Structure 1
Amino acid sequence: MKLEISVIIPVYNAIRFLEKAVLSAVNQDEVIEVLVIDDGSTDGSYELLQELEQKHHKVKLLLHPEHINKGRSATRNLGITSASGNLIAFLDSDDYFLENRFKNDIHVLNKYPDSDGVYNAVGFEIHDASKSNLSQVQKLYTVNQVVEPDVLFEGLVAGKVGHFQINGLTVKRSLFYKTGLFNEELQVAEDSDIFWKMAMKGRLYTGKIDEAVAIRGVHEYNSFYQVYLYDKYIYTMYDSLISWSSRNKVPLKRIDLLLKAIWILKHKKEEGLVDEIRFWAKQFWGNHRIIFSYLFIKYFPIVRRRKLLFPFLK
């Protein structure tokens, strides 16, 4: 089967970087379409996308109903459900692909028939708004070693092998039948949420990790500078992952890793042993009742559950 790539680019007020991003995807031979989804832009991005669609046959412009703003998750999801390629790749509108972005990906996917996707290194470029056109290429900040698919999730959740960056990921469209789409309840951290689901349910192989296949632009409008958003949504992401894991027959040892990751994260914000114990007990029970239900149902058949809960019944 021929492997064909649909590139999905969510766009919101990115006119400063947009054309470079779109053309970097259009110029990849393996790409059959570039789906650009305008998420209610007001800075002229929409008009520029209309021009690019007219000039390049690969470019397909999509909108939400009534051209409203729905956020990155919903915007990427519209791209996924509209794609015609059997491979999906993502590119943020202020980033760009490097030459031959997908050559090695196709090789890896053909080499491993059981593969669901490939991850690669991404470089970073800092744009200084105070100095015209000045940028500085930074070191790679992505997965830094070859990891077997069976242990990839453990490495990612523990932070021992580096991190994924969405511009370096190419996956089979069929993988989304296993993971579901992006979590639209998350305003940030939606990429980590889907990455970990992919690592749990799919088989992701190492691509290029010693050189970048794409460049991420770092500037004053990046969402990761909005620390308050991550503080707000990070626990939502973990709780959502645990609920999803319990519904999708994820092994208990992996759910346990998620619980430990939450404990470590929350532990750092607590001071004093008494407060730590009290905080953990309260949060563990309050936020993760579903886990207790899951374990209870799994390990206590109906008859034993009745005897445990209602010992007076015969």
Structure 2
Amino acid sequence: MGLLVSIIIPTYNRAHLISGTLDSVMAQSYQNWECIVVDDGSTDTTKELLERYCKRDKRFRYLLRPKNRPKGANACRNYGLEMSKGAYVNWFDSDDIMLKSKLQYQVEALENNISYFFCLCQTEVIDTISGRSKGLRAAQIFSDSAFNDYIRREIFWLTGAPLWKREFIDKNHLRFDEKLQQSQDYDFHISILAICDSYIPLEAVLVQLQLHDGNMSNSIIDSSQKFLSNIEVRVRTLHKYTAQLDEETKAFLFNDIFSFFKLSISTQNLSTRLKSWFMVVRSLKYFNIPVQSKLKESSKWLFGAISSKRYYLTSLILLPND
């Protein structure tokens, strides 16, 4: 029968979408799975829908995020892991589709290559309005320098693509940061690649990302918490993994941080602009720049943050193609 796979799906008000996801789970050629759906407090008909699926197939479990856990998909993912029993773990989103052979191909790959701890696959983007493919989510999912290349987004994958060995997740105490509102999968995968950057890449498309109004309108600027989460992840990466970062990746991270800061000038309130400025200044300590230059530029940036004048925002560190 094979080892049990735990599929963990956070959801919030996706009653109109999640049936496609759950049907794709039921259609898996690999049959030994449990699917744990963790509800983040839906106010639509998610509860009634999931109860029908649970009655139809006992491999489904419907759980509510505990009230003592923060709202958000990250807490739901972590709670689902805690409640799961599988030897393998596949986090998945409640609006995406597993192609029929996903679990089978990835379980077989890991069982045939026992020294690896996770297996990736390709993801195809589907326009739900036209039904047409928009191509791969990322052209490349493999690199000989996966840690630095993933940070620079030269390779990339989303939450649903990997199948993980549970022993690896538990041994390294790997969890999603429940304080983050965005960039959580980026942060999670960076933390994993810092520990282990060897994995099995399957070039087969085994996941479909469904483009719809809900995810196309998920803007980084509509919430200060979302906005600052994106910067925090990049500053944290600079701080936590400095010794593992090459110089190009450090410059890339700073460029990203500074780009968010510039965006804050026209989109965020004063408090968020000042917090963004502070995180830019924090990141300067990882670069060999004269103190006088740091002070001069930091002062200009502060004035730009207060006055909302973008022409004060010139960067000290740029990537070669800037």
The answer, yes or no, to whether TM exceeds 0.5 is: yes
Residue equivalent to 2:316: none
Residue equivalent to 1:184: 178
Per-residue deviation, 1:175: 2.8
Q: 1:221 aligned to 2:181?
A: no
Separation (CA, whole Å) in 2 of partners of 1:239 and 1:186: 13
Residue equivalent to 1:59: 60
Per-residue deviation, 1:67: 10
Moved more, 15-24 or 64-73: 64-73
Instruction: Identify which of 173, 194, 207 aligns with 2:201.
Output: 207
SS of alignment partner, residue 160 of structure 2: helix
Residue equivalent to 1:47: 48
Q: Is there any run of 5+ residues in structure 2 with no aligned partner, and where?
A: 263-275, 288-322
Residue equivalent to 2:254: 263
Separation (CA, whole Å) in 2 of partners of 1:224 and 1:153: 29
SS of alignment partner, residue 245 of structure 2: helix
Whether the 8 Å CA contact 2:110–2:118 is kept in 1: the answer is yes
Residue equivalent to 2:134: 138
Whether the 8 Å CA contact 2:38–2:80 is kept in 1: the answer is yes
Residue equivalent to 1:4: 4
Separation (CA, whole Å) in 2 of partners of 1:114 and 1:283: 39
Matches within 5 A, 1:1-314: 2-28=2-28, 29-66=30-67, 70-128=71-129, 134-142=130-138, 144=140, 146-148=142-144, 151-160=145-154, 162-177=155-170, 178=172, 180-209=174-203, 211-222=204-215, 225-228=218-221, 229=223, 231-242=227-238, 245=240, 252-254=243-245, 259-268=250-259, 283=279, 285-287=281-283
Per-residue deviation, 1:287: 5.0
Q: Is there any run of 5+ residues in structure 1 with no aligned partner, and where?
A: 129-133, 272-279, 293-314
TM norm structure 2:
0.74
Separation (CA, whole Å) in 1 of partners of 2:217 and 2:51: 29
Residue equivalent to 2:273: none
TM norm structure 1:
0.75
Aligned length: 269
Whether the 8 Å CA contact 1:10–1:92 is kept in 2: the answer is yes
Whether the 8 Å CA contact 1:147–1:206 is kept in 2: the answer is no
SS of alignment partner, residue 213 of structure 2: coil
Q: Give the aligned residue type for 2:37.
A: V
SS of alignment partner, residue 192 of structure 1: helix
Q: Give the aligned residue type for 2:219.
A: Q
Whether the 8 Å CA contact 1:157–1:257 is kept in 2: the answer is no
Q: Give the aligned residue type for 1:217.
A: Q
Whether the 8 Å CA contact 1:121–1:213 is kept in 2: the answer is yes
Whether the 8 Å CA contact 2:10–2:39 is kept in 1: the answer is yes
Whether the 8 Å CA contact 1:53–1:61 is kept in 2: the answer is yes
Separation (CA, whole Å) in 2 of partners of 1:92 and 1:282: 33
Separation (CA, whole Å) in 1 of partners of 2:48 and 2:102: 27
Whether the 8 Å CA contact 1:9–1:92 is kept in 2: the answer is yes
Q: What's the Cα RMSD here? A: 3.0
Deviations 1:268-295 (A, max 9, x none): 4689xxxxxxxx9975653577x79xxx
Cα distance change of structure 1 residues 257 and 81 upon mapping to structure 2, 3 Å threshold: farther
SS of alignment partner, residue 199 of structure 2: strand
Separation (CA, whole Å) in 2 of partners of 1:67 and 1:37: 14
SS of alignment partner, residue 167 of structure 1: coil
Separation (CA, whole Å) in 2 of partners of 1:62 and 1:241: 33
Cα distance change of structure 1 residues 237 and 251 upon mapping to structure 2, 3 Å threshold: closer
Cα distance change of structure 1 residues 257 and 26 upon mapping to structure 2, 3 Å threshold: farther
Deviations 1:224-270 (A, max 9, x none): 63131553321111233345x3xxxx570328666433212144468
SS of alignment partner, residue 33 of structure 2: strand
Identity in percent: 19
Q: Give the aligned residue type for 2:184.
A: E
Whether the 8 Å CA contact 2:238–2:253 is kept in 1: the answer is no
